Structure 1
Amino acid sequence: MLWIVGALLLFIIQIAFVIFFEYQRPNKAMVWLIVLYIFPVIGFLLYLFVAKEYNRTPALSKKEIGHWNRLKAELMDRCRQRALTNLRGETIHQDDNLHALLGNIPVAPITACNETTVFAEGESAFEAMLGSIAASEHHIHVEFYILRDDRLGARFEQLLIRKAQEGVRVRLLYDGIGSRRLGKAYLKRLRDAGVETGCFFPLLASFFNRRLNYRNHRKIVVVDGKIGFFGGLNIGDEYLGEDPKFGYWRDTHFSIKGDAVLWLQYTFLTDWHLVTGQFIADPVYYPIQESRGKELVQIVKSGPDETILELIFSLVVSAKQRIFIETPYFILDPGVLLALKTAILRGVDVRIIIPGVPDKNLVYSATLSYVQELLRAGVRFFSYQKGFIHAKVIISDNLAFSGSANMDIRSLSNQFEINALFYDGEVVERLVQDFHRDLGVSEEILQSNFEKRSRFQKLKSVYARLLSPLF
């Protein structure tokens, strides 16, 4: 009898612990309480190791934070001075409230004098990256969530080794979980040649530091501080369409010149500092940009300590004509879900493209539960049929938002991401054209057909959505 009382007391303590730390996130708290109910002890241990709220501050001293704040202030002043003479007010006033929000994002300002190239698939993007790396003279900074030791990975490896041997400073960052299958031999060959490497939250250390749930999902290449690449592509043969399961791989990636490159560089070097402890602020890494482009671009880095939920919510609620979304994963925050329903009531054309072939079945089942709810509200969904769509794009009237972040809770709250806001002009129009091209190889998901799914499929979606705050 005594052990029953003890077990019950222990269970109550576990419940109280979760409620105390998750009361500000009721959806997440509810899921963890369900996990605790089903797996009383194992569930609590899982919560301790996975659900810890991210806190970056202890990793940085006050002196280090001061260094980064001063550098950021200097870069912001430089970019704003250049932007003042180039901002075209009529192109960014989609909504006065939205403009106020975008202009006051603390991470980075709206930058001017940019030239952007959009890539819709891997082959052309990787050739451009490799070409820029081959032409480098001073430094190469590379950061990816997934880095594989396959044919594409070997091309990057050989080129980075060659440039390091030529005297170019080469730094490589990879995520400990995303690149968990990367062999030690690959990294050793790079290090032996003089390439500096860093692992963002190594798998084992992340487990014991209770940071297993936080991943660096960014994809960044910066060459000589003058040209940058970012978007949805990782380094692996599947991103060239060579995985037989998915076939053609549709993605969105960018190369950019201009002041926006300074913020790709800043993001990489803050990540590098977090991983290695090295503070790099030499002006040679932040050169005066030579680009004379006319594009306005705002680089937005995000993570568990600086989410982009408010930004995406604002893009949705400010739209007057169209909201086009492409995403491989579609698991929404309640606020964004309500904003999309409200957009339909305002008469906004809302269309969303999701994969026809999933790469993660549980996530896809959760996605379908949101599809069902939004179909009833009037949102139009399309299932991509040509291969696998990995592009992450939001188009809101004359603004476009794209980069590494998926339209799911993990990307918007738990992962380190890098995106860009594009203001009007040719880049937005190109992304709109790509969206319509993707519509041409997609099948519309009709509510009448969707409701005919089997009872098992519907039930699976219900439980997947219930667990969705955890993945």
Structure 2
Amino acid sequence: MMQNILHYLLQINLSYLFQGIYLFTIFFVVGLVIHEKRDPVKTISWVLVIILLPIVGVIFYFVFGQNYRKQKMFSRKGLKDIAFIDKIQEEQLLSFSKNKLGKHVRSDFRSIIGLLLNNSKSLYTENNSVKILNNGGETFDHIVDAISKAEVYIHLEYYIFSDDKIGTRIQQLLIEKAAKGVEVCLIYDDVGSWYLKSTFVQEMRQAGIQVYPFMEVSFPWFTRKVNFRNHRKIVVVDGKVGFVGGVNVADRYIEGDPKLGFWRDTHLEMVGDAVRLLALVFQMDWYFVSGKTFEPLDRYLPPFGKVGDTAVQICSAGPDSDWASIMQAYFSAITKAKKHIYISTPYFMPNESILTAIKTAALSGVDVRIMIPHKSDSAIVYWSTLSYLAEMLEAGVKFYFYEKGFNHSKIMMVDGSFASVGTANLDIRSFEDNFEVSAFIYDDAVTQELERQFHADLLNCRLITLHYWERRPFINSLKEGVARLFSPLL
């Protein structure tokens, strides 16, 4: 009898002990979240997750919720080109202060040049030729052609690199070029390319191609690395031609998706000084994954003769930088709009700053049109995106559902004079957690060509009116509300 009583008392004491440890852990982690002094909306979201999902919420916070922007995820001290960038940045800032830099850029958007010089050392270039590539077929035709002509080096960086038909075609071409003495380097994101077979990678390495995964993660042993992904898509050939935009290496970008249908996307091919800046972004990422540098710089950053007059800034952003530079550039461009803003994004979950800027522009009489896919590849992201529509429609923003398939383009055009094409979605993850890159273009001709394509895509869209949206089923509104709670965390 005495043994049973002691056993019972021990169970009670252990129960209280575990409850005490659990409560202490919850309060401690909640305290950490509050102490970070981040966006109140994101703070509240994490507090709710931690409290409502015992244990799981704490694990999710330490895996996905850490804020590493100010902690610098890696050191760049070994990169000699940093001093080179710093020197040019200082010279350009001085010229900008004297109104000598970007004097051909429309006055409304000149301040964005200074913003990007300050927040990300994004150098300003004017000697460029820019070609817009629509969809995967056209994009891969141009990339394959450029790779085929490579003589010195080929540098590639992708979030998704698949071992399907187009992936194998590019792999074999890279192997052929490596056999001819061309330097070939490839970075693929370890989570985005999770299904890439090791044998496929090994074939390239055996052929002399240098291949590295970005922030390798071994499941199920989660680490903070899983949350910070390299979402960039960059190709640089001989430092002479570069590619950037939304297209990954996968068959669906050519053939479409069995569930979503036709895959619409936008990419850029550039020749000129902006290519050198793309090359530098790749070099920094290469140093991150390999610890190696490229020397001499003249080999990788060859000088150009006159190739065009399109003004471009290449901006890279990520959790390793002090500022959310791409987001700040979007905010600045939106607030400077006088006539119209056209946006195409597959995922629309903006932070409060961008949300307010868009609504303010629309309420001020600016024609704001946002195109999102009618179908999505993620249910929670889809419902979270829809949760923003009501308040945006009330402010006068025109929303369009792209119904031909899945529109993966990440583009913004403002007043026919300023445009952005890149890898960043209009969501919090792209602004804060992912490593992204965008080309900011100060050019009427390129911007207006993008706008013509945008208007062509509108023919495959359905305009969503406030009257229609207010009549949607209550269950849909409920799904949106629940998904909205998680939007700062997605």
By the TM > 0.5 criterion, same fold? yes
AA partner of residue 133 (structure 1): I
2:85 — aligned with what?
A: 72
Question: Does the residue aligned with 1:40 lie in a helix, a strand or coil?
Answer: coil
Does residue 356 in structure 1 map to residue 374 in structure 2?
yes
AA partner of residue 328 (structure 1): P
Q: Deviations over 1:376-421 (max 9, x none)?
A: 1110001111111001111122200111111111111110111011
1:80–1:109 contact (8 Å) kept in structure 2: no
AA partner of residue 290 (structure 2): T
2:424–2:437 contact (8 Å) kept in structure 1: yes
Larger Cα-atom Rg:
2
Q: Give 1:102 deviation, angstroms.
A: 4.4
1:289 — aligned with what?
A: 304
Q: Deviations over 1:303-336 (max 9, x none)?
A: 1224222111111111111111000000011011
Q: Deviations over 1:321-370 (max 9, x none)?
A: 11110000000110111111111222111011100121111101011011
Does residue 148 in structure 1 map to residue 157 in structure 2?
no
Q: CA separation of 1:86/1:164 partners in 2, compared to 1, >3 Å: closer, same or farther?
A: farther
1:87–1:296 contact (8 Å) kept in structure 2: no
Structure 2 residue corresponding to 1:110, chosen from 119, 124, 148: 124
Considering only aligned residues, what root-mean-square deviation do their CA atoms show, in Å?
A: 2.4
Structure 2 counterparts to residues 126-275 of structure 1, below 5 A: 126-204=140-218, 209-275=223-289
Q: Give 1:28 deviation, angstroms.
A: 1.6
Structure 1 residue corresponding to 2:342, chosen from 321, 324, 344: 324
Q: CA separation of 1:40/1:80 partners in 2, compared to 1, >3 Å: closer, same or farther?
A: closer
Question: Does the residue aligned with 1:118 lie in a helix, a strand or coil?
Answer: strand
2:420–2:441 contact (8 Å) kept in structure 1: yes
Question: Does the residue aligned with 2:482 lie in a helix, a strand or coil?
Answer: helix
Task: Give the TM-score of the pair, scaled to structure 1.
Answer: 0.94
Q: Which runs of 5+ in 2 are unaligned?
A: 1-11
Q: CA separation of 1:403/1:204 partners in 2, compared to 1, >3 Å: closer, same or farther?
A: same
Q: CA separation of 1:343/1:280 partners in 2, compared to 1, >3 Å: closer, same or farther?
A: same
Structure 2 residue corresponding to 1:378, chosen from 392, 396, 400: 396
1:393 — aligned with what?
A: 411
Q: Give 1:29 deviation, angstroms.
A: 1.4
d(CA) in 2 for partners of 1:6, 1:108:
48
d(CA) in 2 for partners of 1:393, 1:72:
27
Structure 2 residue corresponding to 1:424, chosen from 443, 454, 461: 443
Q: Give 1:272 deviation, angstroms.
A: 0.4
1:174–1:198 contact (8 Å) kept in structure 2: yes
Q: CA separation of 1:250/1:336 partners in 2, compared to 1, >3 Å: closer, same or farther?
A: same
Structure 2 residue corresponding to 1:13, chosen from 22, 25, 28: 28
Percent identical residues: 37
Task: Give the TM-score of the pair, scaled to structure 2.
Answer: 0.90
2:8 — aligned with what?
A: none
2:120–2:316 contact (8 Å) kept in structure 1: no
Question: Does the residue aligned with 2:401 lie in a helix, a strand or coil?
Answer: strand
Structure 1 residue corresponding to 2:331, chosen from 313, 328, 335: 313
2:154–2:184 contact (8 Å) kept in structure 1: yes
2:217–2:223 contact (8 Å) kept in structure 1: no
1:79–1:259 contact (8 Å) kept in structure 2: no
Q: Give 1:426 deviation, angstroms.
A: 1.6
1:402–1:420 contact (8 Å) kept in structure 2: yes
AA partner of residue 364 (structure 1): Y
